[in-house]
Chains A and B, each alone.
Chain A
Amino acid sequence: MPAAGDCRLWLDWVIITTMPKPLERLNVVKECDNSRLTLWSCPPFLFVVIGFVNISAILLSYFFATRYIENPQYVIAIVSVVAAVIFIIGHSIVHGFSKIAEASRFKTEFIAIVSHQLRSPLSIFKWSLNAIEHERQTKNPVPPSDAAYLTILNENTEKMIQLVNMLLDVSRIEAGSLILRCDPVRLDILTEAAVRSFAAYARAANIVLEYVAPARTLPVCGDAEKIKMVIQNLVDNAIRYSLSGGRVVIAITPSNPTVVEWKIQDAGVGIPKGQQRYIFQKFFRAEPSSSSQIRGWGLGLYVAQSIVTASKGEIGFESAEGRGSSFWFRLPVYRV
Chain B
Amino acid sequence: MAKILFVEDEPALQKALGDFLRGAGHEVLAALDGEQGLAMITRQHPDLVLLDLILPRLHGLAVLEKIKADRSLASIPIIVLTNVESSDMVERAIELGAKAYLVKADYRLEDVLEKIRGVLGDKV
Contacts and interface: CB of A to CB of B under 8 A. Distances in A.
Given A116-B84, A120-B10, A123-B83, A161 B105 contact: yes
A130 B86 CA distance: 26
B17 A127 contact: yes
Interface residues of A, number: 20
A323 interface: no
Given A128-B12, A177-B87, A134 B105 contact: no
Contacts, number: 55
A127 B83 contact: no
Interface string B28-47: 00000000000000000000
Contacts of A126: 104-105, 108
Contacts of A122: 105
Contact of B108 (A119, A130, A164, A165): A130
Interface residue tally of chain B, by bracket? 20 to 34
Q: Is the interface of B mostly helix, strand, loop or mixed?
A: helix
B85 interface: yes
A41 B89 CA distance: 38
B16 A124 contact: yes
B74 interface: no
Contact of B16 (A116, A128, A225): A128
B84 to A, nearest CB: 6
Interface in A91-147: 116, 119-120, 122-124, 126-128, 130-131, 134, 138
Contact of B83 (A120, A131, A134, A177): A120
A127 B109 contact: yes
Contact of B106 (A120, A131, A161): A161
A131 B20 contact: yes
Contact of B23 (A120, A134, A161, A165): A134
Interface of B: 10, 12-13, 16-17, 19-20, 23, 83-87, 103-106, 108-110
